[in-house]
Amino acid sequence: MNPHEARPGRVAPADGSCPACGEPLVAGARFCESCGTPTGLPPDDVAGAGRPDGLPACDRCGGEVGPDGYCTVCGHRAEDPVEVHAVGPVGWATHRGYRHHRNEDAGGVVRTAEGWPVLVVADGVSASPSPDEASAAAVEAVVAALRDRPVTGEGDLAAALEAAHAAVSALPHDRDPHWPPDDTHPACTIAVAVAGPTVRVANVGDARAYLLAPAGDGWRATQLSSDDSVAAAAVAQGIDLEVALALPGGHGITAWLGADAFDLDPHLTSVDAPAGALVLVCSDGLWNYAPTDEAMSALVSAALGPPGRPAGPLPAICELLVRWALDQGGADNVTVALAPVGDTSELEENP
């Protein structure tokens, strides 16, 4: 089927021929079929409008998107929707961003035996094979280690990360079609938070966990995790975080899960949470755009609205934060999880 024939109501430029190569134009075409020169016709009714025939439309050219996700006319891969998981009042959201061709982040939410929410976010290392499998395996292992189990101290989280490290290390390193055969192994970073009255956090790499405490009309974000990054090492020597992140290799990580990692040495933190506090766990796809506690405080204050008058359910806030990161450029996969501290309501994933 010629996609243009199914789209009446358009006209080709007056003389009906390509300004560049002189070949006749298909009526309504936005590009010359011979040389690809734009005809100057606007993409008018294409964006998000769907097609008259009800098939999904390409957000670039309005063509039909095929079952494999590629536009059947211009070949563009359709933009993925933000993936949102609502688990009772708890939730997480994720997107592959605009610069990575696949989502190498993974997330998960479960409850401990005490009923407290556990938030997990793992971020596959792009400079390794099968990073998406690495993050998925890490989240799966942490979820299995903490689901319906009592969490009495930081040792429980350390054990969960040991399990995640073992799971990632066990992955084959030679089955990523996008990675040349070499000796690099799958790897990921991870942050885990148990949102009990005492918030407990464990992390390896640069995925982060924050405590969000009500502060007047807004929220105060405090990073509980510690980055294993070149930038963090520079900060430890007294350099400002924003300057450190701009250093060459500032975003490089110095610890990760997987067979290539050094001895596993997760950062472990516990803090008693004030009433009404929230816990946020995210990948660097979010915090790169709000790297300091001040910037993150401003961001979550804008997203959440004043304490006590929430702007919406937390899963929706997660989606809002992911969309904000996409609006900043979406340079990386982005994943955000949010839970109210001490919440013990029943967890059923909403459809």
257 binds another protein (CB under 8 A): no
CB burial of residue 14 (10 Å; 0-12, 13-18, 19+): exposed
User: Judged by CB, which is closer to another protein: 130, or 184?
Assistant: 184
Single residue of 45, 154, 158, 251 touching another protein by CB under 8 A: 251
Q: Which residue, 189 or 269, has its beta carbon nearer to another protein?
A: 189
Is residue 61 a contact point for another protein (CB under 8 A)? yes
Of 153-161, 187-195, 292-300, 314-322, which segment contacts another protein by CB under 8 A?
187-195
* Residue 22 in contact with another protein, rule: CB under 8 A: no
Among 59, 156, 260, 293, binds another protein (CB under 8 A): 260
- Decide if residue 77 touches another protein (CB under 8 A): yes
Q: Which residues contact 22 (CB under 8 A, 6 or more apart)?
A: none
Size of the site for another protein (CB under 8 A): 61
Contact between 263 and another protein (CB under 8 A)?
A: no
Interaction between residue 178 and another protein (CB under 8 A): yes
CB of 65 closer than 8 Å to CB of 58: yes
Q: Is the dihedral of CA 302, 307, 311, 312 positive or negative?
A: positive
Q: Is 278 left (phi over 0), alpha (psi -120 to 50) or beta?
A: beta
Out of 132, 133, 206, 343, point to the residue binding another protein (CB under 8 A): 206
186 interacts with another protein by CB under 8 A: no
What is the Rg, in whole angstroms, of the alpha carbon atoms belonging to the chain?
Answer: 23
Q: Which of residues 92-111 bind another protein (CB under 8 A)?
A: 97-101, 104
185 binds another protein (CB under 8 A): yes
Provide the minimum distance between the beta carbon of 70 and another protein in the complex, in angstroms, as a whole number.
Answer: 4
CA angle, residues 161, 181, 185, in degrees to nearest 5: 10
Q: Least distance from C-beta 136 to another protein, angstroms? A: 14
Partners of 178 in beta bridges: none
Q: Which amino acid is at 155?
A: G
Which is closer to another protein, CB of 112 or CB of 184? 184
**For residue 71, what are its two tokens?**
């536009």
Per CB under 8 A, contacts with another protein among 274-333 are 283-284, 330, 332
H-helix or E-strand spanning residue 190: strand 188-195
Closest by CA position to 253, among listed 208, 289, 209:
208
β-sheet with 105-111: strand ranges across? 105-111, 117-124, 188-195, 198-204, 267-272
Q: Closest Cα to residue 233, out of 209, 256, 221, 251?
A: 251
Tokens of 338: 């949010």
Report if residue 125 touches another protein, rule: CB under 8 A: yes
| Contact footprint for another protein (CB under 8 A) | 1-3, 29, 31-33, 35-36, 61, 63, 68, 70-77, 97-101, 104, 123-128, 174, 177-178, 180-185, 187-189, 205-207, 229-230, 249, 251-254, 256, 260, 262, 283-284, 330, 332
